[in-house]
């Protein structure tokens, strides 16, 4: 093993070591021990990733096996690493955001009794996510895929005494399993027809597979594989209709909302499709499917962000919408644009979430934006970094989100694959929606009237009452509906968070502002991903864009004069007008368009549909099969029936064993007569 290979190994193992120490020996090492060892582990991992990044820049790509996991027939299942530009970019994003979140957690979870457990989980997550992105085969990909799902499950249910949290985590796991179902079938088809699960070997056979169909279905093989894999991505990256788990995942502590449910895990699906570009490029149908799903998610989840009052849920719906943008980019074969947006989004969305968390600390665990307002005075660092994050999110020129989102919009505009015009409509309207809900939140939280310290009546029908981010002390759990336990008391003022919280905000604000400007040229047009991402000739939207690209500065200046910028600005202005100048207007609109508002408030009734049809249906089916199939038919009729039949025969035969000689004698005579009859008639 070379030095470099040892370094590869160190990247996932360092966080794993931290997770094991903090998890199994949490009592021994104590709080300081637990956060020190996990932070050290992730820091080592981050530094190693930087070294590996330089190595990859120098042209060294690694694809090798670590160990053979199992073999069967001609199929060899292995664990191994593929280290190339895509991997190393993901490694940097994951370890950097994870490091920030680890530091932030010291402040956020300082009063929580599950402190060590939390650090153990987030380090375990980092390990799993790294195994996912560093994999060179589908088996390990699936391992990482499910392992991040497990940690997400554990973290959403971190405050395990809350009914909403433990409902949300189970829901998240099961919805993801629906996606994994498709994912597994995709992998199964690959194993069956390529005879290997190693990426490079599968890609080498892609051309050969393109002509095949799946026996007994008649589907084109590549399309079936890609759609199967993408269904997995729909679960993990929360695309419609498998998005339902992500808003509920906000039940988890805020640091993990930032790390798992915004920056890293939910982007695993995007990463995976980009990694599989040699397969997806061979199926126009699959790409169209990806495009339409992504566009729908981008726009319609954005709408939901408008009606949320819980600060975390606004950011959650924004995440859904942005994931939709990335998916759209995948659909138009602009893989590197998707990955680019993934990276910029990881920074500014982690920033927004951690900013929201800082606000929640300042508000003493009140998450309702209607109780906020004017916080900029009290929390200057949080305010300013959140402003930068929001600007980056809406695509304000020169900030990172501008470069990545604009590229996606331009790419969709140039694309000709079926669904592209629908997608263009969605992403362009989405720009306005994004700006509106982002700045609605911004103004409600940081500006305007100071509404905290008063008790506000809440709509009883909405589940925000459960969504509070508090600590798991028994007191809160017993009355988690009782708002008196959250929020600021009358006369109390919010306060800026401690440095362990604000430092990560500042460190995340920097890349949120500059990373797009600095990296757009190398990442999209400089051939950074050339050897990794494969784009067929007919899908060359990025090539066309490259011809129009004249540097990041020119693009930024030009950006000030485009339609998306105008839409974003009108969203901001409208939010300012509605929530700062004339707050009566939104209320009036809400009344006028009551049905639409109800539809949005109920999240298009996805949850209710799933609960009634799938959850209820499964229980009904189970009960029916059990009561009717097992108990009535099999047990009632066959098993107990045969027991009764045996009993019945026994009852009958008992009649003959009476013990009376004359009865036996009569039977004998009767039998002899019958036998004699046969005897005489035998011939």
Partner 1 sequence: MTGIPFLSLAIWVPIVGGLLALATGSDRNASVARFVALFFALAGLAVSIPLYTGFDVSTSAMQFVEAYQWIPRFNINYVLGVDGISVLFVLLNSFITVIVVVAGWEVIQEKVSQYMAGFLIMSGLINGIFSALDGVLFYVFFEASLIPLFIIIGVWGGPNRVYAAIKFFLYTLAGSLLMLVALLYLFMESGGSFSILDWHQLKLGMDAQTLIFWAFLASFAVKVPMFPVHTWLPDAHVEAPTGGSIVLAAIGLKLGAYGFLRFSLPIAPDASQAFAPMMITLSLIAVIYIGFVALVQTDMKKLVAYSSISHMGFVTLGFFIFNPLGVEGALVQMISHGFVSGAMFACIGVLYDRMHSRQIADYGGVVNVMPKFAALFMLFSMANSGLPATSGFVGEFMVALGAVQYNFWIGFAAATTLIVGAAYTLWMYKRVVFGAITNHHVSELTDINNREFVFLAILAVCVLVMGIYPYPITEVMHASVNDLLKHVFVSKL
Sites of contact with partner 1 (CB under 8 A): 67-73, 75, 139, 142-143, 145-147, 150, 154, 157, 160-161, 163, 166-167, 170, 173-174, 177-178, 180-181, 184-185, 187-189, 191-192, 214-217, 224, 474, 477-478, 618-619, 621-623, 625-626, 629-630, 634-635, 638-639, 642-643
Least separation in angstroms between residue 11's CB and partner 1 is 18
Nearer to partner 1, 73 or 659 (CB): 73
CA atoms within 13 A on the CB side of 596: 10
Nearer to partner 1, 447 or 468 (CB): 468
Least separation in angstroms between residue 630's CB and partner 1 is 6
Nearer to partner 1, 135 or 308 (CB): 135
Nearer to partner 1, 499 or 626 (CB): 626
Say what the alpha-carbon torsion angle 244, 247, 251, 255 is, to the nearest 10 degrees. Answer: 130
Least separation in angstroms between residue 30's CB and partner 1 is 17
Say what the alpha-carbon torsion angle 581, 585, 587, 592 is, to the nearest 10 degrees. Answer: -170
Q: What tokens appear for 202 in the block?
A: 């599968």
Nearer to partner 1, 92 or 185 (CB): 185
CB under 8 A, 24+ apart: contacts of 276-279: 276/226, 276/229, 277/333, 277/335, 277/532, 277/533, 277/534, 277/535, 278/203, 278/206, 278/534, 279/202, 279/203, 279/206, 279/222, 279/225, 279/226, 279/229
- Nearest CA-CA partner of 554 in 520, 513, 514, 510: 520
Q: What is the DSSP letter of 198?
A: B
Nearer to partner 1, 174 or 506 (CB): 174
- Nearest CA-CA partner of 238 in 174, 292, 175, 299: 175
SS3 letters for 19-61? HHHHHHCHHHHHHHHHHHHHHHHHHHHHHHHHHHHHHHHCCCC
Nearer to partner 1, 182 or 504 (CB): 182
Least separation in angstroms between residue 134's CB and partner 1 is 15
CA 350 to chain CA centroid, Å, is 14
Cα separation of 350 and 105, whole Å?
Answer: 13
Nearer to partner 1, 531 or 627 (CB): 627
Least separation in angstroms between residue 77's CB and partner 1 is 8
Least separation in angstroms between residue 199's CB and partner 1 is 17
Least separation in angstroms between residue 626's CB and partner 1 is 4
Cα separation of 425 and 428, whole Å?
Answer: 5
Least separation in angstroms between residue 346's CB and partner 1 is 25
Cα separation of 542 and 429, whole Å?
Answer: 22
Nearer to partner 1, 184 or 567 (CB): 184
Least separation in angstroms between residue 217's CB and partner 1 is 6
The pair phi, psi for residue 143, each rounded to 5°, is -60, -50
Least separation in angstroms between residue 622's CB and partner 1 is 4
Cα separation of 302 and 318, whole Å?
Answer: 6
Nearer to partner 1, 143 or 422 (CB): 143
The Cα-based distances of 219 to 156, 184, 212, 283 in angstroms read 38, 17, 9, 12
């Amino acid at each position: 093993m070379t030095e470099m290979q040892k370094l590869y190994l160190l990247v996932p193992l360092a966080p794993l070591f931290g997770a094991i120490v903090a998890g199994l020996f949490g009592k021994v090492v104590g709080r300081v021990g637990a956060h020190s060892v996990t932070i050290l582990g992730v820091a080592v991992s981050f530094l190693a990733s930087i070294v590996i990044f330089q190595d990859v820049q120098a042209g060294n790509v690694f694809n090798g096996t670590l160990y053979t996991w199992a073999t069967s027939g001609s199929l060899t299942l292995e664990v191994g690493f593929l280290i190339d530009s895509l991997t190393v970019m993901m490694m940097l994003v994951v370890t950097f955001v994870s490091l920030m979140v680890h530091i932030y957690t010291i402040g956020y979870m300082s009063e929580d009794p599950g402190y060590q457990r939390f650090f153990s989980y987030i380090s375990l997550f980092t390990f799993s996510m790294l195994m996912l992105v560093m994999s060179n085969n589908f088996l390990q990909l699936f391992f990482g895929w499910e392992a991040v799902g497990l940690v997400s499950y554990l973290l959403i249910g971190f405050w395990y005494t809350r009914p909403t949290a433990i409902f949300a985590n189970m829901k998240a796991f099961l919805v993801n399993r629906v996606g994994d179902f498709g994912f597994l079938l995709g992998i199964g088809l690959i194993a069956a027809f390529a005879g290997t699960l190693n990426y490079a070997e599968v890609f080498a056979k892609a051309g050969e597979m393109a002509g095949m169909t799946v026996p007994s279905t008649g589907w084109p093989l590549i399309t079936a594989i890609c759609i199967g894999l993408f269904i997995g991505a729909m679960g993990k990256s929360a695309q419609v209709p498998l998005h339902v788990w992500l808003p509920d995942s906000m039940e988890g502590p805020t640091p993990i909302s930032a790390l798992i449910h915004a920056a890293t895990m939910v982007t695993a699906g995007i990463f995976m499709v980009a990694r599989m570009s040699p397969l997806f490029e061979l199926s126009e149908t699959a790409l169209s499917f990806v495009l339409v799903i992504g566009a729908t998610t981008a726009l319609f989840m954005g709408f939901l962000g408008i009606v949320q009052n819980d600060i975390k849920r606004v950011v959650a719906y924004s995440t859904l919408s942005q994931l939709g943008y990335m998916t759209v980019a995948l659909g138009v074969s602009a893989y590197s644009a998707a990955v680019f947006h993934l990276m910029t989004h990881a920074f500014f969305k982690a920033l927004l979430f951690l900013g929201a968390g800082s606000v929640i600390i300042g508000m003493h665990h009140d998450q309702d934006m209607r109780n906020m307002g004017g916080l900029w005075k009290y929390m200057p660092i949080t305010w300013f970094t959140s402003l930068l994050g929001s600007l980056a999110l809406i695509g304000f020129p020169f900030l990172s989100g501008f470069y990545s989102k604009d590229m996606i919009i331009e790419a969709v505009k140039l694309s000709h694959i079926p669904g592209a015009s629908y997608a263009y409509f969605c992403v362009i309207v989405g720009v306005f929606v994004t700006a509106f809900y982002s700045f609605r939140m911004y103004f409600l939280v940081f500006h305007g009237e100071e509404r905290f310290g008063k008790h506000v009546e809440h709509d009883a029908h909405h589940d925000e009452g459960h969504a509070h981010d508090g600590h798991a002390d028994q007191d809160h759990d017993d009355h988690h509906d009782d708002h008196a336990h959250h929020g600021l008391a009358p006369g109390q003022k919010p306060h800026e968070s401690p440095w362990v919280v604000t430092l990560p905000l500042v460190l995340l604000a920097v890349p949120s502002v500059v990373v797009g400007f600095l990296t757009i040229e190398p990442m999209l047009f400089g051939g950074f991903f050339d050897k990794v991402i494969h784009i067929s000739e007919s899908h060359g939207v990025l090539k066309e864009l490259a011809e129009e690209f004249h540097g990041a500065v020119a693009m930024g200046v030009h950006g000030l004069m485009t339609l998306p910028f105008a839409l974003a600005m009108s969203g901001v202005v409208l939010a300012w007008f509605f929530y700062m100048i004339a707050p009566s207007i939104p209320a009036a609109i809400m009344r006028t368009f009551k049905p639409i508002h109800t539809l949005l408030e109920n999240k298009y009734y996805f949850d209710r549909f799933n609960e009634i049809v799938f959850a209820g249906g499964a229980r009904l089916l189970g009960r029916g099969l059990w009561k009717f199939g097992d108990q009535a038919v099999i047990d009632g009729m066959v098993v107990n029936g045969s027991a009764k039949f045996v009993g019945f025969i026994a009852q009958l035969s008992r009649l003959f064993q009476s013990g009376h000689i004359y009865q036996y004698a009569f039977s004998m005579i009767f039998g002899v007569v019958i036998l004699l009859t046969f005897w005489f008639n035998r011939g």
